[in-house]
Amino acid sequence: MQILSGMDRARNALERGDRLPGGTLPVPIAESWQRCRDLGLDPRLQPRGEVVPFAAVTRRRQKMEGLRRLALAEMQVLYAQIAGSNLMIALADASGMVLDTISDQAFTESVAGRSILPGSLWDEARRGTNALGLASDSSQPVGVFGREHYFTCHAHLSCMAAPILDSHGQVLGLLDASCANEARQQHTHALVRMAAAQIENGLIFQECADNFILAFHPRAEYLDTLSAGLLALSRDGVVTALNRPGSALLSGLPTGAGVSFDTLFEMPFARALDGLLRGGVFPIRDAAGSQVLMVCRQIAPGLTVRNLRREPQAMQHGRAGPMPEFVCADETLKAAMADIGQAVAMGMPVHLTGETGTGKELMARHIHAVSGRRGEFVAVNCGALAEQLFVAEIFGHEQGAFTNARAEGSIGLARQADAGTLFLDEVADVPLSAQTALLRFLDAMEVRPVGGLKIHKVDVQIISATNRDLEAMVAERSFRADLLYRLNGLVLHLPPLAARTDFVLVVKHLLQELAPGMAITDAAIARLAQREWPGNIRELRSALQRLLMRQRGPFVDETCFVDGSEDVGDACPACRDRGLARRVCQEIRTTYRSCRNVTHTARALGLSRTTIYKHL
């Protein structure tokens, strides 16, 4: 006989409508299941996946601007901390309406990823037992793992949510980390809670900018941690905010708003301030007699004192994990790159093709690194060399070998690359007259400088690149067929950016290069992904630079696109040149891009499905 686990029995009972067996589930989950059942939700069906109109999301985001700014920066840090894949970090308002998400591509493309999108509502009454809904109701951090979700269709998910509270214990928002159940990591829940606490502390600094802010803890080494109490005080010593650890440390004392410092501590505020403003750690007893150590983290404006750390921990950004130097998660490209190691080990020339800006030079540098050659990487832009000078530049020349020759002669780029790599960029532009000399060099790996007699043997890895069709040039006799066959030992094609499956990673990588620690929302990435990018990664880099110029906080989101200059390519052809229609069309396409579902898009924007189809 098959032995059923507690969870199996609980689910069977739930799905059959039987009484739920006691002791098989954590109490909050069992209670939530019961509430969902009382509401008449059928766990075997799909939940009501409601998504509010985009305009309502925008309004809510504006209302929560301060919190959102802090949260997006923390979400980026959290995303980097929870290494692994199939992950989404979401920020929701207090009711469980998702405002922003940061995720990896695998999650974005999953069924769950398509349902956790800005504007989606995750309250218990709509989506059954889930972490956002439970955290919103209970004001407590909650984890809902796999089959603990009420709806069977959410059983593959694990979600961990923590409320973000104001200093009166009111829920301001919710932070959630969701991942595939099998990818769940033990420490995620703690990281989400810490991120929420970090945001709460950040809010105190943000909202009490004209107050004193003091940190305190019984042990000095904890003053810089999230366990420290943070106390904001007006200039006359009245408490304006106290974080959660602070309330716990002062439990038993009256900590409500309006209480004065003197009621909480044994020393009058003015005297304590004297000590605190001299800098360093100041010992003080609370009104219950326990000693704590205190430091001043922020001085109310108008006072200047040296030796004080003005930068609160919670506001320090730029802690996103290290990003790879070179993004290459595109499966086709990865497969094509599999032979590089062997090719360079055999000294085989590598030929790179791809449109402008697809990363041919970067790939050439990568190949040089892979080859482990100790010599230099020497890049030659063949299109930039005058026809008469081409041979002399590559193979060198003796003193006074020709008019305009360098007086001291030149060893040439081929010898400079000896024991290293010679990268012939824009190889299609090698003058026909020089192609024979180049071919001879590739065959023999020997160099004879112009005007010289001595032959020099070299050992050079050859990499060439072009964005032109060399086969077609061979057919029209502007490129030598034998040179082409000599160059294309291993051919590697770099896909255009729009065709890369690792677009999201490329965006994040470039952003980290341009502005370390900067966050970007999924919606902003989706907006970028709509464009065609004829200039490929180079163009994307410039577009990100322009967005960064417009961005006013620690993250890039759709508001950075306000003037539409990044959006020229994202309206449908019929709407592209029609002002207002173009905006509507762009909104449709942006929304669709983030959820990949016509019905959701129609519902989110309050338009008919036919209209959505028309613009897609």
Binding site for ligand ATP (CB under 6 A): 326-328, 354, 356-362, 467, 506, 509, 537-538, 541
Q: Calculate the CA dihedral of residues 159, 148, 189, 241 and round it to 10 degrees.
A: 80
The tokens for 470 are 């060399």
Based on CB atoms, which residue is closest to ligand ATP, 354 or 554? 354
Based on CB atoms, which residue is closest to ligand ATP, 147 or 360? 360
Based on CB atoms, which residue is closest to ligand ATP, 89 or 506? 506
Residue with tokens 């509507």: 584
SS3 state at 551: coil
Shortest separation between residue 556's beta carbon and ligand ATP, angstroms: 17
Shortest separation between residue 129's beta carbon and ligand ATP, angstroms: 41
- Contact of 272 with 295, CB cutoff 8 Å: no
CA distances from residue 174 to 114, 141, 163, 382, 595 in whole angstroms, order as listed: 19, 9, 4, 56, 21
The tokens for 365 are 């540098």
- Nearest residue (beta carbon) to ligand ATP: 359
Q: Which residues, in sequence order, are CB contacts of 88 under 8 Å at separation 6+?
A: 101, 102, 103, 104, 107, 108, 112, 113, 116, 176, 177, 178, 179
Shortest separation between residue 461's beta carbon and ligand ATP, angstroms: 17
What is the DSSP code string of 42-85? -TTS-----B--HHHHHHHHHHTHHHHHHHHHHHHHHHHHS-SS
Based on CB atoms, which residue is closest to ligand ATP, 141 or 495? 495
Shortest separation between residue 426's beta carbon and ligand ATP, angstroms: 7
Based on CB atoms, which residue is closest to ligand ATP, 242 or 506? 506
Based on CB atoms, which residue is closest to ligand ATP, 328 or 543? 328
Report how far residue 234's alpha carbon sits from residue 210's, in angstroms, rounded to the nearest whole number: 8
How would you label 232-266 residue by residue, b for 16+ Cβ within 10 Å and e otherwise?
Answer: bbbeebbbbbbbbbbbebbeeeebeeebebbebbe
Based on CB atoms, which residue is closest to ligand ATP, 358 or 421? 358
Shortest separation between residue 388's beta carbon and ligand ATP, angstroms: 24
Based on CB atoms, which residue is closest to ligand ATP, 326 or 485? 326
Shortest separation between residue 333's beta carbon and ligand ATP, angstroms: 8
Which one, of 317, 322, 323, 337, lies nearest residue 504 by Cα? Answer: 323
Based on CB atoms, which residue is closest to ligand ATP, 362 or 411? 362
Based on CB atoms, which residue is closest to ligand ATP, 544 or 602? 544
The tokens for 418 are 């000896």
- Contact of 344 with 370, CB cutoff 8 Å: yes
Shortest separation between residue 382's beta carbon and ligand ATP, angstroms: 11
3-state secondary structure 569-599: HHCCCCCCCCHHHHHHHHHHHHHHHHHCCHH
Based on CB atoms, which residue is closest to ligand ATP, 180 or 463? 463
The tokens for 395 are 């193979």
The tokens for 198 are 């970090």
Shortest separation between residue 198's beta carbon and ligand ATP, angstroms: 30
Shortest separation between residue 467's beta carbon and ligand ATP, angstroms: 5
Based on CB atoms, which residue is closest to ligand ATP, 272 or 333? 333
- Helix-, strand-, coil-residue percentages of the chain, each rounded to 5: 45, 15, 40
Shortest separation between residue 357's beta carbon and ligand ATP, angstroms: 5
Residue with tokens 């490929």: 536
Shortest separation between residue 502's beta carbon and ligand ATP, angstroms: 8
CA 412, 414, 420 angle in degrees (round to 5)?
Answer: 130
Please state whether beta strands 350-353 and 461-466 pair in parallel, antiparallel, or not at all (unpaired).
parallel
Shortest separation between residue 531's beta carbon and ligand ATP, angstroms: 15
DSSP class of residue 238 equals B
